[in-house]
């Protein structure tokens, strides 16, 4: 885990790390880096607002936002305080607490895609606005812990950012565990 590094490095370092809440442990398998005010795909692109306030705070905090009227998205704030760098957690594997995850996800059985997608990750952890700004490095609530990094990492352009400039859309800031099945759209990813 190297949260103070540049966007892409910080994002890569989060692969394999663990998200723990209660009995549930998720292993992060896919992430996307967001580069602050200069990144036209970032929520920080219009400067500091009430919604994106946690992004501007210290690294290791959560930034949660509501999207498409129904999904919560979990980000880990990275970089030095004030730079508004963040990493979106896009997918994960369930290590513990499968029953709890199945209940929250309204699923009946574990599949590789159970937590593949940012909305699914937040739902699996039972997250909502009350976790916005939460310190992920402190005990209690939702925690980010060290786990083994993947052996192979694949990278590609970020998803769902058609509104950004062509240059920012092309940035290969989406990273995934090359050996995990819990990653959608694998074809868009290539070895690093």
Partner DNA sequence: CGCCGGATTTAA
Partner DNA sequence: TAAATCCGGCGA
β-pair partners for 75: 63, 88
Among the listed ranges 6-14, 18-26, 133-141, 154-162, the one in contact with DNA (CB under 7 A) is: 154-162
For position 160 contacting DNA by CB under 7 A, the verdict is: yes
The span from the CA of 93 to the CA of 30, in Å, is 10
Binding mask 30-49 for DNA (x = CB under 7 A): --x-x------xxxx-x--x
- The Cα–Cα gap between 33 and 147 comes to 19
Nearer to DNA, 20 or 122 (CB): 122
Instruction: Choose which of 37, 57, 60, 119 interacts with DNA (CB under 7 A).
Output: 119
**Cβ atoms of 54 and 44 closer than 8 Å:** no
Instruction: List, in sequence order, every residue forming a beta bridge with 177; answer none if it has no partner.
Output: 153
Asked if residues 134 and 142 have their Cβ atoms less than 8 Å apart, the reply is yes
Q: Return the residue of 37, 51, 58, 157 that touches DNA, per CB under 7 A.
A: 51
Instruction: Confirm if 64 and 115 have CB atoms less than 8 A apart.
Output: no
Q: Which two tokens stand for residue 184?
A: 């959608």
Q: Does residue 170 belong to the site contacting DNA (CB under 7 A)?
A: no
By CB under 7 A, the count of residues binding DNA is 36
Q: DSSP 3-state assignment of 119?
A: helix
Least distance from DNA to the Cβ atom of residue 139, Å: 25
Residues that bind DNA (CB under 7 A): 32, 34, 41-44, 46, 49-52, 55, 63, 65-71, 73, 75, 86, 88, 105, 117-121, 158-163
């Amino acid at each position: 885990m190297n949260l103070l590094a540049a966007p892409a490095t910080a994002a890569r370092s989060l692969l394999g790390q663990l998200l723990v809440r209660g009995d549930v442990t998720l292993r992060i398998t896919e992430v996307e880096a967001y580069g602050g005010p200069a990144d036209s795909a970032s929520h920080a692109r219009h400067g500091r607002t009430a919604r994106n306030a946690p992004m501007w705070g210290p690294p290791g905090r959560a930034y949660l936002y509501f999207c498409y009227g129904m999904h919560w998205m979990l980000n880990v704030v990275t970089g030095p305080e004030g730079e508004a760098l963040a990493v979106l957690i896009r997918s994960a594997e369930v290590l513990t607490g499968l029953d709890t995850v199945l209940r929250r996800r309204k699923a009946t059985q574990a599949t590789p895609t159970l937590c593949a997608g940012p909305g699914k990750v937040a739902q699996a952890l039972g997250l909502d606005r009350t976790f916005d700004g939460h310190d992920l490095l402190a005990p209690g609530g939702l925690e980010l812990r060290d786990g083994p990094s993947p052996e192979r990492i694949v990278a590609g352009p970020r998803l769902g950012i058609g509104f950004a400039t062509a240059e920012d859309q092309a940035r290969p800031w989406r990273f995934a565990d090359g050996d995990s099945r819990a990653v959608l759209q694998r074809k868009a990813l290539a070895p690093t």
